[in-house]
Amino acid sequence: MSYDAVHTSGETVAWLETRPGDGRTVVVMWTPGHGVRDATPDGFDVGTSIHAYGGGAYASTPAGLVVVNSDDQRLYRVHHDGTAHPITPPGDDRYGDLRALDATTLICVRERPGPTSSSCRGARTRLLPAQYPEFVVGTACQGWPAQGREGTMRAMSAEPGFAGIAVGRPFTVRDLEAMPDDGHRYELIDGALIVTPAPGWSHQEMVIALAVQLRQECPPQLRVLVAPFAVQPDEDNEVQPDILVARFDDLTPKNLPVAPLLAVEMLSPNTKLIDLNSKKAAYERMGVVSYWVLDPAQPGRLTVFELDDERRYVEVACVEGDEVFIAERPFPVMIVPARLLDGLRPDAEG
């Protein structure tokens, strides 16, 4: 048995599990309170023939799971009750690199085989049509040879596909420039794209209140900035902390090309696992000395991580509600989580 393609959405974790004994690959999900379960119906085999490595064969969306059925290469939407129905018609088209842009929109690569070669393009569709959706086809790689009888496949072009989809390769920061201006935040960690929706009121209230407080105490050689502003240390990584503190001399008009002194993230149901795992690990590798994670759920909570002598994060503080945290890094400041949420009260001053 092998595992691959681990994805998180809120508190849900999904992955592909290949079971040689059954001769198939299934999508498995873990959710709080329900544990581990097969998310695809019995007998369903998940896999795309677009890529020799079978990548991008499923996407978890609020509208349900979308998967490529290995047997007919059609897209299927798996409902929360476990039933599945096709959302692409029968034919020779193949699909891969599935990604959910939002609650109802899917982007993917669609390959249309020809007599001697295949045309591979990015595509976009709505997940909630009456029957088969219409795909809006964008630019992408042309002349990608179809898989031959020997089972080999030539490498495709490195051009990005529709809406900046990187086809058959990891994403780079150049791909992010082609992403749609649709209100989502697009970030990159080790070549993996992370897409998060626009935040809610409590998230923004906490961001603004903390940013104002940090700016009031910030020494002249440092700057406090809020998202969207990119930290771009290399071609494979670009993150946008909700708040960052950086040296004035390190900043450029476009981005911050080195690690900030402080990165702050506000938790939300869509980002909790990412903020506490992928982003935490990324900030640690970058050498971000202090990483603060705030939870805007009442009464408010602040967890503080700092690099130790071995350049690994250790939790140095966790305060909640009216408890006080007195920071020393990157500069002295007193934080009370509950006060950062005062703006949510109807009697608060605007």
pLDDT score recorded for residue 114: 59
All residues at 6 or more sequence positions from 21 whose CB lies less than 8 Å from its CB, including other chains: none
- Produce one character per residue of 11-32: b if its CB has 16 or more CB atoms within 10 Å, e if not: ebbbbbbbeeeeebbbbbbeee
pLDDT score recorded for residue 150: 26
Identify which of 27, 112, 97, 35 has the alpha carbon closest to the alpha carbon of residue 65.
27
The whole model's pTM is what? 0.58
All residues at 6 or more sequence positions from 178 whose CB lies less than 8 Å from its CB, including other chains: 160, 163, 164
Work out the pLDDT band at 244, boundaries 50, 70, 90: very high
Work out the pLDDT band at 156, boundaries 50, 70, 90: very low
Q: 111 and 96 in contact (C-beta within 8 Å)?
A: yes
Cα distance between residue 156 and residue 133, in whole Å: 27
Residue 144 pLDDT greater than 60, yes or no: no
Cα distance between residue 246 and residue 244, in whole Å: 6
**3-state percent breakdown (helix, strand, coil) of the chain, nearest 5:** 15, 40, 45
Cα distance between residue 97 and residue 54, in whole Å: 9
Class of the CATH domain delimited by 201-344 = alpha beta
Structure letter (DSSP) for residue 300? -
pLDDT score recorded for residue 130: 36
Distances (CA, A) of 76 to 40, 70, 82, 177, 258: 10, 11, 12, 30, 43
Phi, psi dihedrals of residue 213, rounded to the nearest 5°: -65, -40
Work out the pLDDT band at 154, boundaries 50, 70, 90: very low
Identify which of 119, 41, 122, 116 has the alpha carbon closest to the alpha carbon of residue 86.
41
| CATH fold of 2-169 | Neuraminidase (2.120.10)
Residue 214 pLDDT greater than 70, yes or no: yes
Average pLDDT of the chain, as a whole number:
80
Residue-wise DSSP of 208-259: HHHHHHHHHH--TTEEEEESS--EEEETTEEE--SEEEEEGGG--SS-B-S-
Condensed to tens digits (0 to 9), the pLDDT of residues 24-83 reads 899 998 888 888 989 898 888 998 887 554 568 888 876 678 899 988 888 888 877 778
Cα distance between residue 331 and residue 159, in whole Å: 44
Distances (CA, A) of 294 to 112, 176, 300, 345: 46, 27, 7, 18
SS3 81: coil
Cα distance between residue 337 and residue 324, in whole Å: 8
Residue 206 pLDDT greater than 60, yes or no: yes
Condensed to tens digits (0 to 9), the pLDDT of residues 290-305 reads 999 999 999 999 999 9
DSSP-assigned beta bridge partners for residue 239 = 231
Domain spans of the chain, in order of start: 2-169, 201-344
**Residues, the chain:** 350
Dihedral sign of CA atoms 169, 175, 181, 185 in order: positive
Residue 118 pLDDT greater than 50, yes or no: no
Residue-wise DSSP of 160-180: B-GGGPBPSS---HHHHTTS-
